[in-house]
């Protein structure tokens, strides 16, 4: 357990509404990641952060933004949710040994 929590764990929202997902870690790791998991695709990287206020895009960043104002929190925002963003979202941290450890996930449904 790498001390990672995600909130909310489940969310249903309507198309066009903004949504923010939160990832919280307790162990002061520098690197944090947001992935989405879809059947047949495994996990795909959305954005990552390499420090407070330092973020970069991943493979599937369109339609998502992130913010990291504190080491322990990494927020993922969908400015205007679409049905194609229905997915399970996972946050991860990179340990000092370079392995990535994952949170429990947030299941988002956009209707």
Partner 1 sequence: GEDVEQSLFLSVREGDSSVINCTYTDSSSTYLYWYKQEPGAGLQLLTYIFSNMDMKQDQRLTVLLNKKDKHLSLRIADTQTGDSAIYFCADPRYNNNDMRFGAGTRLTVKP
Closest separation between CB of residue 48 and partner 1, Å?
Answer: 6
Closest separation between CB of residue 102 and partner 1, Å?
Answer: 4
The span from the CA of 103 to the CA of 72, in Å, is 13
Measured from the CB atom, is 49 or 85 closer to partner 1? 49
Measured from the CB atom, is 59 or 79 closer to partner 1? 59
The span from the CA of 46 to the CA of 43, in Å, is 9
Report the DSSP pairing between strands 106-110 and 10-13: parallel
Q: Which residues bind partner 1 (CB under 8 A)?
A: 31, 33, 40-45, 48, 50, 56, 58-59, 90, 94, 98-105
Question: Which SS3 state, helix, strand or coil, does residue 60 take?
Answer: coil
Closest separation between CB of residue 16 and partner 1, Å?
Answer: 29
Measured from the CB atom, is 48 or 110 closer to partner 1? 48
The span from the CA of 59 to the CA of 56, in Å, is 10
């Amino acid at each position: 357990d790498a001390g990672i929590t995600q909130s909310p764990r489940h969310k249903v929202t309507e198309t066009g509404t903004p949504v923010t997902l939160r990832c919280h870690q307790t162990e002061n790791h520098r690197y944090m990641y947001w992935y989405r998991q879809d059947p047949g695709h495994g996990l795909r990287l959305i954005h990552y952060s390499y420090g407070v206020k330092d973020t970069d895009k991943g493979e599937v960043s369109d339609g998502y933004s992130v913010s990291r104002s504190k080491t322990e929190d990494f927020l993922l925002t969908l400015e205007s949710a679409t049905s194609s963003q229905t997915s399970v979202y996972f946050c991860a941290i990179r340990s000092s040994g370079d392995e990535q450890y994952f949170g429990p996930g947030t299941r988002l449904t956009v209707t």
